[in-house]
Structure 1
Amino acid sequence: MSRLNLLEETRFEKLPVTVYPDQHVASQTVARRIADLIKRKQQNGEKTVLGLATGATPVGVYAELVRLHKEEGLSFKDVITFNLDEYYPMQPTAVQSYVTFMNENLFDHIDIDKKNVNIPDGTLPLEEIPAFCLAYEKKIEELGGLDLQVLGIGRTGHIGFNEPGSAPNSGTRLVTLDDLTRRDASRDFGGKENVPTKAITMGIGTIFKAREIILMAWNGKKASIIKKAVEGEISSEVPATYLQLSDNVEFVLDQDAASALTRFDTPWLTRDCLWDEALTKKAVIWLSNTVKKPILKLTDEDYNAHGMAQLAVDRGPAYNINIDIFNKLQHTITGWPGGKPHADDTDRPERATPAQKRSLIFSPHPDDDVISMGGTFIRLVDQGHDVHVAYQTSGNTAVWDDDVLRYMEFAIDFKGSIGDDNSRLKAIYEDMRQFIEQKQPNQIDTPEIQNVKAFIRKSEALAGARYAGLQDDHIHFQALPFYETGKTRKNTVSDLDIQLTMDLMQRVKPHQVFAAGDFEDPHGTHIVCFNIIIEALRRLKNAGESWVDDCWLWMYRGAWHEFATHEIEMAVPLSPMEVERKKNAIFKHQSQKDRPVFPGDDEREFWVRAQERNRETARHYDRLGLADYEAMEAFVRYHF
């Protein structure tokens, strides 16, 4: 691409942006730049002064720096570091402290002199913090300033802990954390109520003085705030927009984090496009929503006035394009998610044969199946398909401690009522109660408490699947080992996780697999579980299992986010009665009702979220000029 074309394509972007295929490549590239800086300074007999960030974003960078140290001899003896921030108050030995984070992810694995490590002190008395902050700034200045500052970005647009309202010339100081920032941190602290309300952070003015600034962002959760930071007006409401004023900044993104930028989201506004089927569908739906007209009412003038003249010329007139896209959308709608028997399936999302399919629904947590595709689940059973459901994890971290005691009290009373000796249960109950009364935030439960929480989730999943119409021998509890840590932080996936999944699929030999494709869940469990399924299918295919070639994989969403309309390949409409049946299935998960342990951003009950998202999907179709259904569940097919 010529420089002129690149400038035109990025004309909405107010600072340099580099996009990489994924966060791993991006992290390795940033780490290599840091390594090259350190080596260059070492050759000149100089020390390197780095500003470092914490959180999930830089973990890959730190891992690569550790590898470069251990395998390629990169030395950090001449490196001095200053961390951006620390919670206040915070003990350096706490699991959630940034001292612990930096030691675990970087400092304990390299040859840096710990005297060269500087992290804000979360143990100071309040009256000593101003002097500490001034000394922090002075130390950076005396060393000649930061050579390179690594940044992440929060969903409020904060850099460091410079929340909305921060001034562009702010220095290191004590700040109050935004509610969204605390919600994002709640999982690490065992609930938002345990997250500190304050932090010590470098100021935006301090960050600006760095000779080089690299802001990194990964995954779709950050896409909307990245668009504001890169393309929006400079505003204290999004502190990262102040970086537009720097000549030394670069945003390093993966494709998902960059997906909302104009050149990726609506590229027809920046350049001539190759109008393939997917882009045409997306653009026409966008145009319909922009001008607030059904698709069949769009005119050539609408196309010309909204950057789509090229499409109208290349594939027009407009009405022909409208008819084509309208028909494609119409063909995504089906009341037969297992395929309609003895029917022409040319324009249907699923195959007509075999008429009765073996369908395997994978549910990462014990309630994702009914929350995300409960209506389709029930319809598959009603239409005579051989449906199985597999609960991939126990979900035992997402049960309130009070529920454990309540269930134990029930068990004690029941055992006593039938004349059995319940003294052992009583002793276990007393131990549990004592542990819970003294339990610290995010402390790992005892094995007995973990088991009771898993039993609670299992009993609820059984009730939900039975309500959907399944027999017990079609309900599978995998309890994949990667999840069973008792902690919010899980183990890495092992061959055993994959083998257990292969064994189940080999027994069922499904024609259809349904899996959670909602990779923005705050727990990170969905993407892990999805990748296990993919790897299991690949290994089975490589092992010569011929049924895999006839197995279609459908991704569902709904617990956290929904597919965009242009992405949907199968839309299953739900009647008012089916919406009610789906709600009843979700109600079986009583431990997640009212207020789940980890609600994420959306504090509505799961049944309310699901109902509203399904209704909104139906409204999207209605606004485009298609039939007006009560609700719709949406699916996208995954192609190997």
Structure 2
Amino acid sequence: MENKNFSPVEQSFLNNISKNSQTNVPYIAVDNFPTLGMLTAFRFLEWASENPHGVISLPTGKTPEHFIYWTKHILENWDREDIFELRKKHQLVSPQKPSLADLHFVQIDEFYPIKSSQANSFYHYVNKYYIEGLGLKRENAILINCDEIPLADGKSFEEIFPDHKVDLELRYIEPRTPLEKLQKESVFLIDNWCSDYEQRIRKLGGIGFFLGGIGPDGHIAFNVKGSDPYSTTRLTATNFETQAVAAGDLGGIEISRERLVITIGLETITYNKDAVAIIFAAGEAKAPMIKNALELPPSNLYPASVLSKLPNSRFYITLGAASMLNDLTDDYYQSGSWSQEKTDKAVMLLTQKLNKYAEHLTLEDLQADEYTRLIPGLDENTVQSVITSIENKIKKATDQLTHEVFYHTGPHHDDISLGLLPYIHYQSRNETNESHYSVLTSGFTAVTNKFLTDILRDTLSFVEKGEVEMLNYPDFFEVGYQNKRDKDVYHYLINIASENAIERSRAVSHRMVRNIVELWNLKTKQELEEKIHNISSVIHSSYDGQNPEPKIQTLKGMIREYEEELVWAHFGVRTKNVSHLRLGFYTGAIFTEKPNRERDVYPILQQLKEINPTVISLAFDPEGSGPDTHYKVLQAIAAAVREWGKEKDLSQLKIWGYRNVWYQFNAADVTHIFPVSLNAMSTMDESFTNSYLSQVNASFPSYRYNGKFSHLSIQTWVEQLQAVQLILGKPYFYDNNSPRLRATHGLLFFKEMDVEEFLQSARELEQSTEGVF
């Protein structure tokens, strides 16, 4: 649907793809996440300058990071020369700086129940980043403060819902107890409050400017898949995908699974037919939701498709998020030079469309398809060229490497294992190779309060019973606590073999004792016991999802560090070869800081100089499809490599980009396809389960799978094999002369790059964060 009503700001960001869009809602695609924030900020300020008394509704979470940054940055530096030139470039040319003070703000949604004072409530977020951050007037805001929603007998939600669980079935059943009677009455009072909230919005004429993200099931606000397009503000439950995403905010899916939400409805968003309603999304992981919302007929299966009702609605997305749209696919094949990668991708896509093995494709099939018919020199040998291309990637991956120094990096603990373990294990068997593992952030947010308090309880019990014998060593509190960390690892693993759960727990307690003594500089056993009591008390008095004090953050991170050491010790790696950099940009705040040179780049650079690797592996997620930590770590590694290259010839250095549970490669995009056997799958799953103790119960799962990340990785490998089997055929594997290929039941993909190719792939992010390094 061609749309000629783009605003001047939007026109400055348009490209040919966007102009010719045939989607239900017009969209604009930009290069990366920071640019997405800039576009959104400029459009918001353009609208605000035209509607100074308008009604706005802005999102919470991590997606608005760059929108908030650019909005403040432009306003605070309105007349500065560089901002003036940027405004001129993007058609925000009003000489008068927009005033936001008289705008009316509508909060989109909120967990229920949650205290408004909690930093992980959306009420707190809205007040901090929008009311105070952008200078809006609180009296002009319509907010969702759970503490102020009236309940039965004037009681608080903690009295009415003491376990924070609200049973919506009470709307339809008779209460069985006095408490249930109060709860039933309270549910109806909340429903009435929601109706009043809706009416307050409509009295203002509805929302004039709406900005929202899109969830993993396609939801906007908390209008999950299946929501009525005529829905209004209401108290409602969510689905697993939404709960998985919210787990990080609330301290685990154990909590988000039980928590209801108050959300404006889809009709609330579309009530004002002149509204500018924008959905923004970044990363290839969002591509399926974007395609469904924009290209399929509007449906309650795709809640964001409701925006097709509004003539001024838009999708602002990164190229990755747009990658599955027909426009982008057409542009990929119809523009630029042709490559074997394009041929591979086109033929693979055709086998999936026709559900037909490559060997059975005819020349007529290829000539009839809109993409394969574009292949230069298309003939009977084209399919064989694709088969050969994929076979060569498998051969390359199964070649034995020798005399290599591997520097494997991960943004978080478990990333390396989930992304590359079978291949790492395969290459590490050659003793001429040397392997180093470096996790770049603390990862403390992945350790729940309950997990920490359980370990502290066990540790205290062992200490009090005198079963932590090292406490009796005369120099333990001076220097001894720093020694024998490998023994803690061995102690744990040997008791996996002997199936002694108590001794495994004691091994964990040994490491916890060392960590607590180090962090708090303790000098006696009594101080240790008191400190364990104190930490437990602090945790018990914290709300779920609360960002703990710095030393407790570090203690949580040290648990993850021990887990990482356990994984690699399965394969004989000593703790000295496993590094924990704890880069400072990772703080647990809603918006992690940008990496900077001294704090975040130099530690990596120092390791590069010390280890002198011939291969660097890294999570290759330049658009931030998964956690934002991934692309920020990518920035830091790219900057370190660039610095290293100023003093050393890196022409022979290889970079391996891997992906894991957040997003996957297409087989055509990679250089290596590694066969994964059932034995390798079992090895990865067992090492994950035995080592990543804090992750076994999957408190922070992927929205794609309700379980351990190790199972999701295995599922991914199996799916990748199925795609490749359409090209090579099943007999290629089960009837192969190679036992390794006959044992294949999954495939692992990764992409090898030289330094220049890697740095070029990171260049867009480097430019969009100019000045960081």
- Summarize the Cα distance change of 1:191–1:380 in structure 2 as closer, same or farther, 3 Å threshold: same
Which residue does the alignment assign to 2:286? 222
Matches within 5 A, 1:29-40: 29-40=39-50
Q: In structure 2, what is the Cα distance between the partners aligned to 1:278 and 1:559?
A: 24
Q: In structure 2, what is the Cα distance between the partners aligned to 1:55 and 1:135?
A: 26
Gaps of 5+ in 1: 342-354
CA drift of 1:33 comes to 2.3
SS of 1:387's equivalent? strand
CA drift of 1:274 comes to 5.6
CA drift of 1:98 comes to 2.2
Matches within 5 A, 1:118-267: 118-123=142-147, 124-125=149-150, 126=186, 127-195=188-256, 197-210=259-272, 211=274, 212-265=276-329
Q: In structure 2, what is the Cα distance between the partners aligned to 1:585 and 1:335?
A: 26
- What is the letter of the counterpart of residue 549 of structure 1? S
Q: In structure 1, what is the Cα distance between the partners aligned to 2:606 and 2:350?
A: 47
Q: In structure 2, what is the Cα distance between the partners aligned to 1:432 and 1:251?
A: 46
SS of 1:550's equivalent? coil
CA drift of 1:129 comes to 4.0
Deviations 1:225-276 (A, max 9, x none): 111111112222222222223323111111111112122246589x688643
- Summarize the Cα distance change of 1:598–1:411 in structure 2 as closer, same or farther, 3 Å threshold: farther
Kindly indicate whether the alpha-carbon contact (under 8 Å) linking 1:220 and 1:259 is maintained by their aligned counterparts in 2.
yes
Which residue does the alignment assign to 1:333? 394
CA drift of 1:590 comes to 4.3
CA drift of 1:507 comes to 1.2
Which residue does the alignment assign to 1:294? 357
Q: In structure 1, what is the Cα distance between the partners aligned to 2:615 and 2:370?
A: 40
- Summarize the Cα distance change of 1:447–1:407 in structure 2 as closer, same or farther, 3 Å threshold: farther
Kindly indicate whether the alpha-carbon contact (under 8 Å) linking 2:656 and 2:751 is maintained by their aligned counterparts in 1.
yes
Which residue does the alignment assign to 1:92? 116
**Whose RCO is larger (CA < 8 A, sep 6+)?**
2
Q: Does structure 1 residue 569 correspond to structure 2 residue 569?
A: no
Q: In structure 2, what is the Cα distance between the partners aligned to 1:461 and 1:637?
A: 25
Q: In structure 2, what is the Cα distance between the partners aligned to 1:423 and 1:393?
A: 32
2:70 pairs with one of 46, 59, 64: 64
Matches within 5 A, 1:433-452: 433-445=536-548, 449-452=552-555
TM-score, normalisation: structure 2: 0.73
Kindly indicate whether the alpha-carbon contact (under 8 Å) linking 2:37 and 2:67 is maintained by their aligned counterparts in 1.
yes
Kindly indicate whether the alpha-carbon contact (under 8 Å) linking 1:15 and 1:250 is maintained by their aligned counterparts in 2.
yes
Matches within 5 A, 1:239-638: 239-265=303-329, 275-308=338-371, 310-311=373-374, 314-317=376-379, 319-334=380-395, 340=400, 355-383=402-430, 384-399=432-447, 400-401=451-452, 402-410=454-462, 413-416=466-469, 419=472, 422-445=525-548, 449-483=552-586, 485=587, 490-495=592-597, 496-517=599-620, 523-541=627-645, 543-546=646-649, 548-592=650-694, 594-601=696-703, 602-625=705-728, 627-628=732-733, 629=741, 630=744, 631-638=746-753
Deviations 1:332-361 (A, max 9, x none): 113656x657xxxxxxxxxxxxx5122111
Kindly indicate whether the alpha-carbon contact (under 8 Å) linking 1:370 and 1:585 is maintained by their aligned counterparts in 2.
no
Kindly indicate whether the alpha-carbon contact (under 8 Å) linking 2:253 and 2:699 is maintained by their aligned counterparts in 1.
no
Deviations 1:591-634 (A, max 9, x none): 14631332222233333333333333334323311632323322
Kindly indicate whether the alpha-carbon contact (under 8 Å) linking 1:217 and 1:252 is maintained by their aligned counterparts in 2.
yes
SS of 2:243's equivalent? helix
TM-score, normalisation: structure 1: 0.87
- Summarize the Cα distance change of 1:474–1:617 in structure 2 as closer, same or farther, 3 Å threshold: same
Q: How many residues align?
A: 614
Q: In structure 2, what is the Cα distance between the partners aligned to 1:310 and 1:356?
A: 45
CA drift of 1:506 comes to 1.1
Kindly indicate whether the alpha-carbon contact (under 8 Å) linking 1:69 and 1:110 is maintained by their aligned counterparts in 2.
no
SS of 1:193's equivalent? helix
CA drift of 1:587 comes to 4.3
Deviations 1:344-390 (A, max 9, x none): xxxxxxxxxxx512211112233322232112212222122122221
Tell me how large the CA RMSD over aligned residues is.
3.1
- What is the letter of the counterpart of residue 636 of structure 1? K
Aligned residues: percent identity? 22
Kindly indicate whether the alpha-carbon contact (under 8 Å) linking 2:285 and 2:662 is maintained by their aligned counterparts in 1.
no
Q: Does structure 1 residue 49 correspond to structure 2 residue 49?
A: no
Matches within 5 A, 1:2-21: 10-11=21-22, 13-21=23-31
Q: In structure 2, what is the Cα distance between the partners aligned to 1:613 and 1:163?
A: 25
Gaps of 5+ in 2: 5-15, 79-96, 151-185, 474-523, 734-740, 760-773
- Summarize the Cα distance change of 1:609–1:65 in structure 2 as closer, same or farther, 3 Å threshold: closer
Q: In structure 1, what is the Cα distance between the partners aligned to 2:580 and 2:201?
A: 55
Kindly indicate whether the alpha-carbon contact (under 8 Å) linking 1:268 and 1:308 is maintained by their aligned counterparts in 2.
no
